[in-house]
Structure 1
Amino acid sequence: MSIVVSTLTLGGFDALPAHDRRCAFWTMDPTADVSVDSLDPEFEKEAWLSMLMLQWGPCGQVATGGTDSAVPASSDALGCALYAPPDSVPRVTHFPTAPVSPDAVLLTSLSTPPIDDAGHADDVREALLGAVVRDLINRGVRALESFGLRRTEDDAVASPDGRSVTPCGPATCMTDAGYLEKYGFEVIAPHHRYPRLRLELDRDHGWKEDVEAALDRLLEAAAITVVEQDARVAVGVR
C-alpha cells in the first residue's frame, strides 16, 4: 500500500483519525477547574487546531493509504502528526522535563491506528515525521522536540478500532521514547518516564535522508544482482 501524506487544512478536521479528533490530553490544562466530561471534545479540539492554523500556520500532517485527495476521509487515515509552538500547548508546563527549548516546536501527537504489519506502521510514522521535518525546515525552525513515553506493563493497550474509545492518557496520547530515538531524536532531559527529546533541523536534513535511502536501495539492488548472477553459474564451473 502506498502512503500519501497531506498537510492538515482548516477544512480537513474530519480527516483526522477518530481518537485524534477527540483527544484533549495536550489541549487542556490538567489543573483547570473544568471537567472533560462537560465539554464537547471534538469541538474543543477543532477550535484549538483552527486557532493554531490561523495564528501560526500548518500544525498537522495526515497519512492516508493510496489517495492524493487534499481532504481525505477519516476512514482512509492511517495516522497523523500534530505539532505546535510549546506556549500553545497547555499541558507542557506539567511535565517534569519541561520547559521545551525556546527555539523548538513541540511534536504532540504521532499516531497510527493499529496496523497488522508492524513494519508498515513504522513506514507510516516515518512518512509523517518526514513531512513534519520538511515543513518546519522550510519555515526556518531550528529543532523539533517531544516528550517521549517510557512504557511500563501497566500502560493500557490501544483499542482495536483505532483508539476511538480509549480514554486519553500517556499510554494513548504520547509517542514512545524508543521510537523517537530510533528516528534520530536525542534525549536532552532524561527521566524514567517522560524524557524530553530533540531533533536538530537543518536544510540538509531531508537531503541527507533522501541520499541515504537512495544508497540503501542501490546496495540492495546490487546485492540482488550478485545473487542472481551467482545462481546462473553452471555446476562444476568453480
Structure 2
Amino acid sequence: MSTSVTALTLDGLDRLPAHTRRCVFWELDPAVAADSHAFSDPVFEKEAWLSTVMLEWGSCGQVAQVDNNIAGCALYSPPSAVPRSTLFPTSPVSPDAVLLTTLQAEFPYDEADVAHRLVQAVVADLVRRGVRALEAFGIRNGPPTTSVADRGIGSSMRLMERIAAPLRDRAAATHCTPETCMIDADFLEDVGFEVVAQHHRFPRLRLELDTDHGWKEDVERALDQLLAAAQIRIPVTSGRT
C-alpha cells in the first residue's frame, strides 16, 4: 500500500474523514455550542471555520491517503482561532506556537504510521512558514492521579466540566467528546512532543521546530520531495525531422 499526504484545500473539504467534517469540538465557542439551534448543522460550521482560517492564515490541514482512499487527517491553526483552547487547566497556548487540534487515522489503516506521516507533513509545512513551535492539548485516559500537585489545582474540575459539557447532550449525534476529539498524550510524546504544562487529564505538550528535535531529517526529506515534485521535466528530442 502506498501512503501519501497532501495539504487540505478549499475545494477539497469533502476529502476530510466523516467524523472530522462533523466535529466542531474545537472550532465553536462553547456558548454557541450549548445552543442546540445554533449547532444544528455542524458540517456547515466546520467548513465555514476551515474556509475562514485558510483564507486569513493559510494552510491549516493535511490529509493522508492510502491507495487513493482517505486514511486520516491533521488540523492546526493559530490558537486565537480555536475558542475552546482557552478553557483547559493548562491554557493558554504559548504565543509563539501553532495549535494542533486534530490528528485522526481511519480504520482499517495503520494508525501509528498514518498519524506519524501526518505529523511529518504538519511539521514540514510549519517549518517552511517559519513557525517556532507546535503545541497540542493531549488527553490521558488512564486512572486519575492522586498526587498532591494535581489535587491542588483548585478550578481544574470546573474547567474540565466546561470543556465537555457544551457538547455532551449532542454526543450521540456528533460523537464530539474529549475522548473522541483530542489527541492521545502518550502518542504526542512518542513523536517528540514534551509536556510543558503538566496535568493528570489534559497536559499541554510542545514540539520545538527551531532546534534539532529528531524531525530535522524527516522534514528536509519531505521538503526535497515537494521540490522534486514541483520541477517541470522538459522532454529531450533528437532534433531529427
TM above 0.5, one fold? yes
User: Given the superposition, is the C-alpha separation of residues 59 and 36 from structure 1 closer, same or farther in structure 2, using an over 3 Å criterion?
Assistant: farther
**SS of corresponding position for 2:30:** coil
Residue 135 of structure 1 corresponds to 125
Residue 54 of structure 1 corresponds to 55
What does 1:13-162 correspond to in 2, within 5 Å? 13-32=13-32, 34-35=35-36, 38-67=39-68, 76-115=69-108, 120-152=110-142
**SS of corresponding position for 2:189:** helix
In the alignment of these two chains, the number of paired residues is: 193
Decide which of 189, 194, 197 is 1:186's aligned counterpart. 194
**SS of corresponding position for 1:137:** helix
Shift of 1:31: 3.2
Matched to 2:100, the amino acid is: L
Matched to 2:105, the amino acid is: T
**SS of corresponding position for 2:175:** coil
How far, CA to CA, are the matches of 1:87 and 1:38 in structure 2? 21
Residue 217 of structure 2 corresponds to 208
Shift of 1:113: 1.9
Instruction: Normalising by structure 1, report the TM-score.
Output: 0.75
Moved more, 145-154 or 201-210: 201-210
Instruction: Give yes or no for contact 1:143–1:201 (8 Å, CA) kept in 2.
Output: yes
- 1:197 maps to 2:205: yes
Shift of 1:30: 1.8
Residue 4 of structure 1 corresponds to 4
How far, CA to CA, are the matches of 2:135 and 2:116 in structure 1? 16
Show CA shifts across 1:10-51 (max 9, x none).
000100000000001001122345227742100000000000
Instruction: Give yes or no for contact 1:104–1:145 (8 Å, CA) kept in 2.
Output: yes
How far, CA to CA, are the matches of 2:173 and 2:63 in structure 1? 20
How far, CA to CA, are the matches of 1:93 and 1:7 in structure 2? 27
Instruction: Give yes or no for contact 2:26–2:82 (8 Å, CA) kept in 1.
Output: yes
How far, CA to CA, are the matches of 2:10 and 2:134 in structure 1? 23
How far, CA to CA, are the matches of 1:148 and 1:178 in structure 2? 8
Shift of 1:2: 1.3
Instruction: Give yes or no for contact 1:15–1:62 (8 Å, CA) kept in 2.
Output: yes
Residue 228 of structure 2 corresponds to none
Q: Quick one: percent identity of the two aligned structures?
A: 57
Moved more, 25-34 or 46-55: 25-34
Matched to 1:17, the amino acid is: P
Instruction: Give yes or no for contact 2:22–2:174 (8 Å, CA) kept in 1.
Output: no
Superposed structure 1 runs of 4+ greater than 6 Å apart: none
How far, CA to CA, are the matches of 2:78 and 2:194 in structure 1? 19
**SS of corresponding position for 1:188:** strand
Instruction: Give yes or no for contact 2:123–2:219 (8 Å, CA) kept in 1.
Output: no
Unaligned runs of 5+ in 2: 145-171, 222-241
User: Given the superposition, is the C-alpha separation of residues 166 and 142 from structure 1 closer, same or farther in structure 2, using an over 3 Å criterion?
Assistant: same
Instruction: Give yes or no for contact 1:97–1:189 (8 Å, CA) kept in 2.
Output: yes
Moved more, 165-174 or 26-35: 26-35
Shift of 1:167: 1.4
